[in-house]
Amino acid sequence: MPKIPLAEVVDRIVDWFTDTFGNSLDAFSDTFGDIIKGLQNLLAFLPWWVIIIIFALLAWKASGWKLAVGSTLGLLFIYNLKLWPAFLDTLVLVIISALVCIIIGIPIGIMAGRNHKVNRLITPILDFMQTMPSFVYLIPALMFFGLGKVPAVFATVIFAMPPAIRLTSLGIRQVPEDLVEVGEAFGSTPWQLLWKIQLPVALPTIMAGINQTMMLSLSMVVIAAMIGAGGFGAGVLYAIGQMKIGMGFENGVAVVIMAIILDRLTQGVGRSFRTDDKDN
Amino acid sequence: MSEKIVVKNLVKVFGGHPQKALSMLKAGEPKDEILKETGLTVGINDVSFTINQGEIFVVMGLSGSGKSTILRCLNRLIEPSSGSITINGTDITKLKDKDLRVFRQERTAMVFQQFALLPHRTVLQNTAYGLEVKGVEKKQREDKAVAVLEMVGLKGYEDKYPDQLSGGMKQRVGLARALSNDSDILLMDEAFSALDPLIREEMQDELLSLQQKMNKTIVFITHDLNEALKLGDRIAFLRDGALVQVGTPEDITNNPANDYIVKFVRGVDRSKILTTGDVMKKPQPFITTRDGPGVALRIMKEHGISSVFVVDREKHLKGVITVDLAVESRNAGIQSLQDVELPQGPVVREDVPIQETLGIIAESKLPMGVVDDNHKLIGIIVRGSILAALSSDKGGDGDA
């Protein structure tokens, strides 16, 4: 029995896609690249201690002084290891990827939460996106955008978006039936129902989704070093190639520190929504 | 009295494509047959009734009888399958989306069984929700909400959040939210069923006194016969989605339409159904162990009673003091009841059928206390209230 030419078919489709949309892809890539570069320049322009102070303030606001102290110590440690430029590279990619995920993912999640058909349609797509080994996404990203930060963001967004969609949809569907009835019984428009009832009630769940998206973004941005994303991932990759175990460890520890800070920070924001709502 | 809501041949079949089920219903097939044949459930089966301006119309039925479905058809939270609902001369089953929204904003307001307050909004913002949706200016709608909150006894709670309130207060907010809309029809879906017996009674009284001032048309859903008899100007009995009887409380109790209602209204021994929680009164008056016998005597004299409950600071029941004992202690120069050995009267939990308490009450000279798990005094039972509860068995309880 002959082999089914799955690889050939995929190749043909991707070729056709790049041939047909090549120009617009390039234009998109350029614009997007500029945005990334802009944010990067901004962060590089700021002295390192200003960034540490900004993080400390955010942490203090979102969670409390413990997290503020912890993130300050963690970032000082990263600075001390001379990994500050790698940290900024990784940070920019995580922020931009997570933002794109939120901007695209939350509206899709809202649609899926309010409409069973949309939900049934996207569930298998999301399953597919999440079960695929993450570095497989690097291939189409590479084909469309070449090497660099734009394909890194592209691959990261595909990998990290599902939780934002899923948990937004879940949050909307978990709004108690009688609260939705309140909205309808008092004559709310669908838009008022969404903004005044469904989204606020679903907010803690949506924030949990954003937290997960953030974490997945970080893990994918590290992997995306394989296609030239730079940052901590590049350090790890180089260390693997050169068998420099110590250097690989330094970069790995830096990733862990960054992950903990981002995780606690977004969780803290989620919680503060909850408590702001009730305890003041 | 003018007709406010006219429901004609209302049918609700749950599930898609009800045409076949509808025609089977018309042909007089029973519900089980329709379920077997089409897989669809008949929620409401050809119900017609009229509600007059300014009356409290109670829809009474057990769970699954379709009472909540009927209520939700009146503002089309549930779409009727066939039939007409005419409110103020307009058939609302024909309203388009936009007109339906306006109808809901202007004409109806709803109170929910589980309160359904928005957890992210303050009491004030919850109360003003209906006006906000209508597009009323912030200042104006909040002034209105403040006024209505005062009316339902929640002045000073405007900035609290729902999870800081007790059940009774939450439902006051639910009521305030409905009232602030100034709609002429109030739809109340088992509005008091989730409340403790004492609070429930308080809310019923409150609703009746508010209604005297407001004169709204109220559709009230309940599964509690006593509540139906107390509140209803007229009561509609519902069973399996069909109307069994519509009438005043007197009609229902004196001339029950069929055996089902007979069983409901008087067939069952009320002393087995009613619990101590249903007949208990507020634990008033009572005195604390820190008071002296003089205080006890004064309170008994004030209330014309011969004994009074004694509790400690946390309201734990400590005993009962009688006139005789109080006089004796005072003459002995005792300052505080802490130093008196108090007799213990009979004590029950609030979920005991009153039948089981009859013997104890008959034999005891002391009143019966109702306590919770921590032995806190939550109510008292006197002979009179049990007799009153049992005698409503004989009908004519409507004005209670």
DSSP secondary structure letters along chain A: -PPP-HHHHHHHHHHHHHHHHHHHHHHHHHHHHHHHHHHHHHHHHS-HHHHHHHHHHHHHHHT-HHHHHHHHHHHHHHHHTT-HHHHHHHHHHHHHHHHHHHHHHHHHHHHHHH-HHHHHHHHHHHHHHHHS-GGGGHHHHHHHH-SSHHHHHHHHHHHHHHHHHHHHHHHHHTS-HHHHHHHHHTT--HHHIIIIIIHHHHHHHHHHHHHHHHHHHHHHHHHGGGGT--SHHHHHHHHHHHT-HHHHHHHHHHHHHHHHHHHHHHHHHHHHHHHHHH--
Among A185, A201, A203, whose Cβ lies nearest the Cβ of B77? A185
CA distance B253 to chain A (A): 34
Contact B291, B337 (CB under 8 A): yes
Q: What mean pLDDT do residues A140-156 have?
A: 87
Q: What pLDDT is stored for residue B86 in this prediction?
A: 94
Among A187, A200, A278, whose Cβ lies nearest the Cβ of B105? A187
Among A182, A188, A192, whose Cβ lies nearest the Cβ of B112? A182
Q: What mean pLDDT do residues B328-347 have?
A: 83
pLDDT, tens digit (0-9, with 9 covering 90-100), for A268-280: 887 766 544 443 3
Q: Is the pLDDT of residue A98 over 60?
A: yes
Q: Which of A249-258, B8-17, B90-99, B273-282 has the lowest mean pLDDT?
A: B273-282
**Dist CA A144 CA B172 (whole Å):** 61
Question: Domain B53-269 maps to which CATH number in 3.40.50.300, 3.90.1150.10, 3.30.2350.10, 2.40.50.140?
Answer: 3.40.50.300
The reply to whether B110 touches chain A by the CB within 8 Å rule is yes
The reply to whether A197 touches chain B by the CB within 8 Å rule is yes
A201 and B118: CB-CB below 8 Å? yes
Q: Nearest 10 degrees: CA dihedral of A147, A150, A156, A161?
A: -150
pLDDT, tens digit (0-9, with 9 covering 90-100), for B18-61: 888 888 888 878 888 888 888 888 889 889 999 999 999 999 98
How buried is B279 (Cβ within 10 angstroms: 0-12 exposed, 13-18 middle, 19+ buried)? buried
**Dist CA B400 CA B394 (whole Å):** 13
Q: Write out chain B residues lying below 8 Å of A185, CB-based.
A: 75, 77, 104, 108-110, 187
Check residues B295 and B92 and name the one with the higher pLDDT: B92
Q: What are the sequence ranges of the domains in chain A?
A: 19-275
B129 and A196: CB-CB below 8 Å? yes
Region B276-389: CATH code: 3.10.580.10
Cα–Cα separations (whole angstroms), residue B147 to A213, B116, B140, B159, B174: 46, 21, 11, 14, 15
Return mean pLDDT, chain B: 86
The reply to whether A179 touches chain B by the CB within 8 Å rule is yes
- ipTM score: 0.78
Which of B120, B141, B179, B183 best probes binding to A when mutated, by most A CB atoms within 10 angstroms? B120
Q: Write out chain A residues lying below 8 Å of B181, CB-based.
A: 186
From-to residues of CATH 3.40.50.300 in chain B? 53-269
The helix (run of H) or strand (run of E) holding residue B44 is strand B41-52
From-to residues of CATH 3.10.580.10 in chain B? 276-389
Residue A32 structure tokens: 């997007």
Contact B119, B161 (CB under 8 A): yes
Q: What pLDDT is stored for residue A168 in this prediction?
A: 96
Among B103, B112, B161, whose Cβ lies nearest the Cβ of A178? B112
A200 and B118: CB-CB below 8 Å? yes
Q: What mean pLDDT do residues B326-345 have?
A: 83
Q: Which of A1-5, A149-153, B24-28, B213-217 has the lowest mean pLDDT?
A: B24-28
pLDDT, tens digit (0-9, with 9 covering 90-100), for B111-152: 999 999 999 999 999 999 999 999 999 999 999 999 999 999
CA distance A204 to chain B (A): 11
User: Do the strands B217-222 and B234-239 form a parallel or antiparallel pair, or are they unpaired?
Assistant: unpaired
Which of B74, B92, B118 best probes binding to A when mutated, by most A CB atoms within 10 angstroms? B118
The reply to whether A174 touches chain B by the CB within 8 Å rule is no
A187 and B104: CB-CB below 8 Å? yes
Class of domain A19-275: mainly alpha
Residue B349's pLDDT band, with cuts at 50, 70 and 90, is confident
The reply to whether A177 touches chain B by the CB within 8 Å rule is no
Tell me how crowded residue B192 is: count the other CB atoms within 10 A of its CB: 27
Q: What pLDDT is stored for residue A280 in this prediction?
A: 35
